[in-house]
């Protein structure tokens, strides 16, 4: 289960890619928006961040993590009527 936190209008969680690299997933809009979910990778060697849409990393996520990301995105921004999440 991912540990989600609210940061302004966005919701963020740390994820692990199949390569072993940690990244952040940031939810800012509905699934219909290509930039509604993005993945941030930090490259410590060059102190840079690589930002790409979630769809670029679908094959590098576990099925459980992907399902949780999509469900959280739907809860926050979708019309499905899922209950809103509560953050500490």
SS (H, E, C) 19-66: CCCEEEEEECCCCCCCCCEEEEEEECCCCEEEEEEHHHHHHHCCHHHH
Task: Give me the residue spans of the domains in the chain.
Answer: 5-77
What are 3-31's pLDDT values in tens digits?
999 999 999 999 999 999 889 999 999 98
The torsion angles phi and psi of 63, rounded to 5 degrees, stand at -60, -35
Identify the residue with better confidence: 47 or 4.
4
Query: What pLDDT is stored for residue 16 in this prediction?
Result: 92
For residue 48, name the pLDDT band (cuts at 50, 70, 90): low
Query: What pLDDT is stored for residue 50 in this prediction?
Result: 85
For residue 39, name the pLDDT band (cuts at 50, 70, 90): very high
Strand partners, 53: 38
Its pTM stands at 0.87
């Amino acid at each position: 289960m991912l540990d989600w936190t609210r940061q302004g209008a966005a919701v963020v969680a740390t994820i692990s890619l199949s390569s072993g690299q940690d990244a952040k997933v940031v939810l800012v809009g509905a699934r219909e928006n290509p930039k509604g979910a993005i993945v941030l990778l930090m490259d410590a060697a060059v102190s840079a961040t690589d930002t790409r849409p979630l769809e670029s990393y679908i094959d590098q996520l576990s099925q459980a993590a992907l399902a949780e990301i999509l469900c959280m995105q739907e809860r926050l921004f979708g019309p499905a009527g899922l209950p809103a999440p509560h953050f500490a």
